[in-house]
Amino acid sequence: MPNANLTFSPFTTTVPGYPRVATGRVYKTLLEHFWNHRISVDDFQTGINDLVQERLQVQLSNQLDHIPVGDFSLYDHVLDTAIQFGCIPERFDHFKRGTALELYFAMARGKDGVPPLEMTKWFDTNYHYLVPEIPSAFYLHEAKALDQYQFAKEIIGERAKPVLLGPFSFLKLARLSDQDLVDRLQELVPLYCQVIQSLVEAGASYIQLDEPSLVTDISETESVAFQTAYHQIGKVTPVIIQTYFGDIARHYNWLKELPIGGLGVDFVRGKAANLTAIQSGFPSDKILVAGVVDGRNIWRSDLNETQALVKELAQYVSLERIVLSSSCSLLHLPETVSSEDKLPADVKSALCFAQERLGELRLLSNALQKGNDSVSEDWNLATKAFQAWQENQSRFIPDVQQRVESITDKDTSRLAYAQRRPFQDQALNLPPLPTTTIGSFPQTPELRKARTQRESSPEFYEQAIKNEIQKVVALQEDIGLDVLVHGEPERNDMVQFFGDQMQGFTTTEEGWVQSYGSRCVRPPIIYGDVARLQPMTVKELAYAQSLTQKPMKGMLTGPITILQWSFVREDIARSQVAYQIAIAIRGEVHDLEEAGLKIIQIDEAAFREGLPLRKGDWQAYSDWAIKAFRLATSGAKPTTQIHTHMCYSEFEDMIEAIAAMDADVISIEDARSDGALLETLKEFQYPLQIGPGVYDIHSPNVPTVEFIENKLQATLKRLSLNQVWVNPDCGLKTRKYEEMIPSLKNLVEAAKRVRACQKA
């Protein structure tokens, strides 16, 4: 018999998930110490239990009513789900004989030559999940959800809200589609029912099933399968379906008919469409989890406006059925602004990380419960801080805004490729199948150390960087590459390096966000108009060029990648911010040309992940993203060869956009794909030059000359000799010199052999 319908007191609060990392990156330290055998299994377990407890307590002390449990994970919650339901590929059989932790980390990170699960981006975030491999039969491998719930209940009691990744999204994330997904969903759902049953028996009432895939493009067949699944789950108990990252308007009519306890809806990303859906009527027996404060970005909410939104929702939903929430899990936010001592004071008071987000929910809940007339002091402080930032003029640079307004078509177009190509050929005088690398060279401990001394002993730092550049240039000459790079020794990170040198950016000290496993990133904050203060890369690159007769390729990061890997202001459109960054990069391109560089590469590693979750929205994005890239590059002289690099090969559906970027040369990842990309390029008659990566730098393997030769021969069957470049598939910073040198030697030798047979 299903539970009675859920109701709570009016305006309770929740979040779909909370950060794992914690102040001081306790999470990272624990994991890495364990992996490096610096702590025992027992100490690790104790450390993790303490951390989980502390995570719960932070939420409790912020008076959150329904606290997520099971969102915490030792690496990734998709992996947790996979293991729970027995999705353990055969290659890990051997590890099943060891401890659960051994199996878990083997699947996450690989072990003893057994490769881990593939990793990819979680929707359009910078969090990575492990792609489940779906076995021929599911089974319940462990009772993790129940264990976690019982552990949490001891600490936070009734507030504990079990969170599961829903079965539909789980299979979608495993990349099943249509009939396969339908079949497997039917098999998986009974196991979900068992898990949910166990949670109900243990006392859980609010059970959250995350189904973010509902905001992506799903087929008719899939939506029918979804409904069937939740009819079955509804027989156990009415769960809450949690969506985020977009609107669910297209599915609303059938979603609201499902036998579920309620629906979590994103009113930040999908605001207009979701609001219209709710205004069409909301079932009186369901909870609306209203995601009204932002889980993806770090700015304070406009509490007055948010309160008005909730009041609007309250016209359609009874008060005790409205739960106030963040738009998505707070996993994507740093922990707390209070750890930041060095941020400019005005920027700092405009910010809101995870803990502060909980504070906002509490303020909203209190204000809504009490009604308008009794606004608290905290409310006043928060709304004043918000207002002060709105009115703060110091972040605007009128020149920059004017420059963006005055962009014309001329600023975003170069002399036609066919016409500029001969100039470049003449200026560069390269052989057919030119060889090059993507930019970075192996990072050594000495280099990292030198970079930390940039401020304290600048002379030492500069000399160390120069030495490194010298070493890298000499090495490339020795190997016989045609187009050299400087190795990027001065860069800690391809985005932060530029952010640190531009106006409008700031960096946190402790603003860590989980990227994958123990790996955390500290995204720069773009708070104001962006301007380049001085040349950012010219010193190192001009020096590098001075060391060789061969062309040195100057390395820059492109506007979309900088945008995508930062926390971005919201008072102007993303496209405008992208144009501002593009103008800064354009200035740098100019300065590099002046300094004598003939080739400039503008990396757009994140171009693809910026694509909206639904195809219908792609065009609008590509339009401004391409414009930004072209704005950054089109100031270059016709003789200057513009390169770009992207870290993936799934171009089938975006090849037109790639061509429209009009980069003379693009290098891409293709070492692992089976020629699908090459076919696409051939069919499209890709007009520009391209270097499909000839070997995989993500593995320590050294490719043989024959391997690379074969790859090149296959490429030349589909592309013409004068458009193919020879390069690895990404930067070499994660490799060791012992692996890299023989690999590049083989690459150069393979290019020579193929050239020779083309002549013959």
Tell me the closest approach of the beta carbon of residue 645 to Zn ion, in angstroms. Answer: 6
Closest residue to bound ligand GLN by CB: 731
DSSP 420-450: HHHHHHHHH-PPSS-B---SB----HHHHHH
Tell me the closest approach of the beta carbon of residue 458 to ligand GLN, in angstroms. Answer: 24
Tell me the closest approach of the beta carbon of residue 650 to ligand GLN, in angstroms. Answer: 15
DSSP 325-370: EESS-GGGS-S-GGG-SSS-HHHHTTB--HHHHHHHHHHHHHHHHH
> What is the rounded distance in angstroms from the CA atom of residue 3 to the CA atom of residue 237?
6
Catalytic residue among 94, 231, 590, 698: 698
Per CB under 5 A, which of residues 590..649 are in contact with Zn ion? Answer: 647
Strands 525-532 and 502-506, sheet pairing: antiparallel
> Residue 439 binds what, of ligand GLN, Zn ion, none (CB under 5 to 8 Å, by partner type)?
ligand GLN
Tell me the closest approach of the beta carbon of residue 669 to ligand GLN, in angstroms. Answer: 9
Here's the x/- map for Zn ion, 182-201, by CB under 5 A: it reads as: --------------------
Helix H or strand E encompassing 521 = strand 519-521
**Which residue number, 687 or 700, has a Cβ lying nearer to ligand GLN?**
700
Here's the x/- map for Zn ion, 642-681, by CB under 5 A: it reads as: -----x----------------------------------
> Residue 733 binds what, of ligand GLN, Zn ion, none (CB under 5 to 8 Å, by partner type)?
ligand GLN
**Which residue number, 630 or 733, has a Cβ lying nearer to ligand GLN?**
733
Tell me the closest approach of the beta carbon of residue 604 to ligand GLN, in angstroms. Answer: 8
Per CB under 6 A, which of residues 297..336 are in contact with ligand GLN? Answer: none
Here's the x/- map for ligand GLN, 638-657, by CB under 6 A: it reads as: -------x-x----------
> Residue 261 binds what, of ligand GLN, Zn ion, none (CB under 5 to 8 Å, by partner type)?
none
Per CB under 6 A, which of residues 517..576 are in contact with ligand GLN? Answer: 555
**Which residue number, 321 or 645, has a Cβ lying nearer to ligand GLN?**
645
**Which residue number, 285 or 493, has a Cβ lying nearer to ligand GLN?**
493
> Residue 22 binds what, of ligand GLN, Zn ion, none (CB under 5 to 8 Å, by partner type)?
none
**Which residue number, 439 or 504, has a Cβ lying nearer to ligand GLN?**
439
Residues in contact with ligand GLN, counted by CB under 6 A, come to a total of 13
Under rule CB under 6 A, residue 356 binds ligand GLN: no
**Which residue number, 144 or 553, has a Cβ lying nearer to ligand GLN?**
553
CA atoms within 13 A on the CB side of 728: 29
C-alpha dihedral (497, 476, 705, 652), degrees to nearest 10: 30
Per CB under 6 A, which of residues 604..623 are in contact with ligand GLN? Answer: 605
In this structure, which amino acid lies at residue 524? P
> What is the rounded distance in angstroms from the CA atom of residue 259 to the CA atom of residue 583?
53
**Which residue number, 323 or 555, has a Cβ lying nearer to ligand GLN?**
555
Under rule CB under 6 A, residue 733 binds ligand GLN: yes
Under rule CB under 6 A, residue 667 binds ligand GLN: no
Q: Which residues pair with 599 in a beta bridge?
A: 553, 641
In 3-state terms, what secondary structure has residue 726?
strand
End-to-end CA distance of the chain: 80
**Which residue number, 586 or 733, has a Cβ lying nearer to ligand GLN?**
733
Q: ∠ at Cα 158 (155, 162), nearest 5°? A: 85
**Which residue number, 236 or 494, has a Cβ lying nearer to ligand GLN?**
494
Helix H or strand E encompassing 231 = helix 220-234
Q: Which residues pair with 324 in a beta bridge?
A: 13, 290
Here's the x/- map for ligand GLN, 482-501, by CB under 6 A: it reads as: ------x-----x-------
Q: Which stretch binds Zn ion (CB under 5 A): 206-214, 331-339, 558-566, 725-733?
A: 725-733
Among 730, 740, 747, 754, binds Zn ion (CB under 5 A): 730
Contact 630, 637 (CB under 8 A): no
Tell me the closest approach of the beta carbon of residue 631 to Zn ion, in angstroms. Answer: 22
Contact 324, 14 (CB under 8 A): yes
| Closest by CA position to 668, among listed 645, 694, 696 | 645
Question: What's the Rg (C-alpha) of the chain?
Answer: 27
> Backbone phi, then psi, for 323, in 5-degree steps?
-110, 125
> What is the rounded distance in angstroms from the CA atom of residue 235 to the CA atom of residue 3?
9
| Closest by CA position to 564, among listed 515, 491, 630, 637 | 515
Q: Which stretch binds ligand GLN (CB under 6 A): 240-248, 287-295, 576-584, 727-735?
A: 727-735
SS3 of the chain: helix, strand, coil, percent, to 5: 50, 15, 40
Here's the x/- map for ligand GLN, 430-469, by CB under 6 A: it reads as: --------xxx-----------------------------
Residues in contact with Zn ion, counted by CB under 5 A, come to a total of 2
Sign of CA dihedral 561, 562, 565, 567: negative
698 is catalytic: yes
In this structure, which amino acid lies at residue 32? E
> Residue 666 binds what, of ligand GLN, Zn ion, none (CB under 5 to 8 Å, by partner type)?
none
Contact 528, 503 (CB under 8 A): yes
DSSP 541-601: HHHHHHT-SSPBEEEEE-HHHHHHTSEE-SSS-HHHHHHHHHHHHHHHHHHHHHTT--EEE
| Closest by CA position to 737, among listed 436, 487, 540 | 487
> What is the rounded distance in angstroms from the CA atom of residue 755 to the CA atom of residue 725?
12
> What is the rounded distance in angstroms from the CA atom of residue 123 to the CA atom of residue 134?
20
Among 541, 731, 744, 751, binds ligand GLN (CB under 6 A): 731
Tell me the closest approach of the beta carbon of residue 550 to ligand GLN, in angstroms. Answer: 18
Tell me the closest approach of the beta carbon of residue 624 to Zn ion, in angstroms. Answer: 23
Here's the x/- map for Zn ion, 299-328, by CB under 5 A: it reads as: ------------------------------
| Closest by CA position to 512, among listed 331, 295, 293 | 331
Tell me the closest approach of the beta carbon of residue 154 to ligand GLN, in angstroms. Answer: 44
Q: Give contact residues for ligand GLN (rule: CB under 6 A).
A: 438-440, 488, 494, 555, 603, 605, 645, 647, 730-731, 733
Binding footprint of Zn ion on the chain (CB under 5 A): 647, 730
Please identify every residue annotated as catalytic: 698
